[in-house]
């Protein structure tokens, strides 16, 4: 399960839902092809709505007033190429999903698109299957972007302290503000540090929290709460309760540490 699936699992447990509508900006100078694309996309996925502009300059002007969930762009167009358009967009909207949908296919174009930060690259075809494939790519790109955005929102707004850790080393790879507040360190010092480094030297982590970090990756392991001590930046000890649970994020096994004041 990647971050997208992890988010879906989280929202299912918390009752949150992800908005269904997907707004697409299609930049295409061929009006007949643009009309066909919009028709077939909306037939394939009812939630998709398509706004079309004929040139990248119009797309940039449109983006100044509106925000789509995804941009689909041709390559060869008046004024600038699709790659030049992508580079303009990435300067202002680095995370906006962008799919290059073009009849100009070559390894060089594909490589340049990847280097410029394209989300996906799809070559136009003559069959109707291309629209189903494009719809699938749009849904996947938008779902991933929403999951990344909403994952961070959920993490930041969870009332408990939450740290995402490596199961063996206990190294913190992500944490919310509440976790940093409870352990008494800023986020820059927490990320990349192990839970052991945030613990007094005399504490025996390996027999307690460390073991549970490793055991929690087992499917049969039940979530357990342990008492733990952090040492804050000023050298003061802070007692907390930590509950550890397994999670697979971005295809890797992680451990979630939920922290509350003891």
CATH number at residue 256: 3.30.450.20
pLDDT of res. 106: 66
pLDDT of res. 205: 44
The answer for residues whose C-beta is within 8 angstroms of residue 159's C-beta and 6 or more apart is 178
pLDDT of res. 88: 94
CA distance 6 to 159: 19
Q: Are residues 148 and 167 in the same domain?
A: no
Q: Are residues 81 and 165 in the same domain?
A: no
pLDDT per 10-residue tile (average), the chain, 262 residues: 52 52 95 94 91 96 94 93 94 94 77 89 87 94 86 84 87 93 93 84 53 54 74 90 81 85 89
Q: Are residues 169 and 199 in the same domain?
A: yes
pLDDT of res. 257: 87
Domain that holds residue 27: 3-156
Q: Are residues 227 and 133 in the same domain?
A: no
Q: Are residues 72 and 101 in the same domain?
A: yes
CA distance 189 to 191: 6
Contact between residue 103 and residue 130 where contact means Cβ atoms under 8 Å apart: no
pLDDT of res. 3: 54
The answer for residues whose C-beta is within 8 angstroms of residue 190's C-beta and 6 or more apart is 163, 172, 175, 179, 180, 183, 198
- The residue ranges of DSSP E strands in 11-83, in sequence order, are 22-27, 48-53, 70-73
Global model pTM greater than 0.85: no
Q: Are residues 115 and 44 in the same domain?
A: yes
What tokens were used for 225? 């709460």
Q: What long-range pairs does 31-34 form, CB within 8 A, spacing at least 24?
A: 33/124
What tokens were used for 172? 């913190």
Q: Residue 45: name the closest of 138, 130, 121, 127 by CA.
A: 138
Q: Are residues 67 and 120 in the same domain?
A: yes
The answer for residues whose C-beta is within 8 angstroms of residue 237's C-beta and 6 or more apart is 200, 229, 230, 231
Q: Are residues 244 and 149 in the same domain?
A: no
Handedness of CA 179, 182, 186, 188 (dihedral sign): negative
The gap between the terminal CA atoms of the chain, to the nearest Å, is: 32
Q: Are residues 67 and 36 in the same domain?
A: yes
Please say which residue of 108, 136, 156 terminates a domain.
156
What tokens were used for 124? 């136009």
Please say which residue of 156, 188, 219 terminates a domain.
156
**What's the total number of domains in the chain?**
2
Please say which residue of 156, 180, 214 terminates a domain.
156
pLDDT of res. 127: 82
């Amino acid at each position: 399960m990647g971050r997208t699936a992890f988010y879906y699992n989280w929202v299912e447990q918390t009752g949150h839902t992800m908005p269904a509508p997907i707004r697409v900006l299609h930049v295409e100078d061929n009006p007949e092809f643009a009309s066909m694309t919009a028709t077939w996309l909306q037939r394939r996925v009812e939630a998709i709505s398509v706004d079309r502009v004929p040139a990248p300059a119009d797309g940039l002007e449109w983006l100044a007033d509106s925000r789509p969930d995804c941009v689909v762009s041709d390559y060869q167009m008046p004024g600038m190429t699709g790659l030049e358009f992508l580079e303009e967009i990435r300067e202002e909207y680095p995370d906006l999903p962008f799919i290059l949908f073009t009849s100009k296919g070559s390894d060089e174009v594909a490589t340049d698109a990847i280097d410029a930060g394209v989300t996906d690259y799809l070559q136009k075809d003559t069959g109707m299957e291309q629209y189903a494939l494009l719809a699938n790519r749009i849904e996947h790109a938008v779902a991933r972007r929403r999951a990344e955005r909403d994952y961070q929102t959920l993490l930041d707004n969870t009332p408990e302290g939450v740290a995402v850790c490596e199961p063996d080393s206990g190294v913190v790879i992500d944490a919310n503000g509440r976790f940093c507040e409870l352990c008494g360190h800023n986020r820059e010092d927490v990320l990349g540090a192990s839970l052991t480094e945030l613990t007094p030297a005399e504490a025996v982590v390996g027999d307690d929290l460390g073991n549970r970090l490793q055991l929690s990756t087992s499917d049969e392991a039940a979530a357990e709460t342990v008492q733990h001590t952090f040492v804050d930046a000023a050298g003061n000890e802070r007692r907390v309760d930590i509950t550890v649970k397994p999670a697979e994020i971005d295809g890797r096994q992680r451990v979630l540490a939920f922290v509350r004041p003891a």
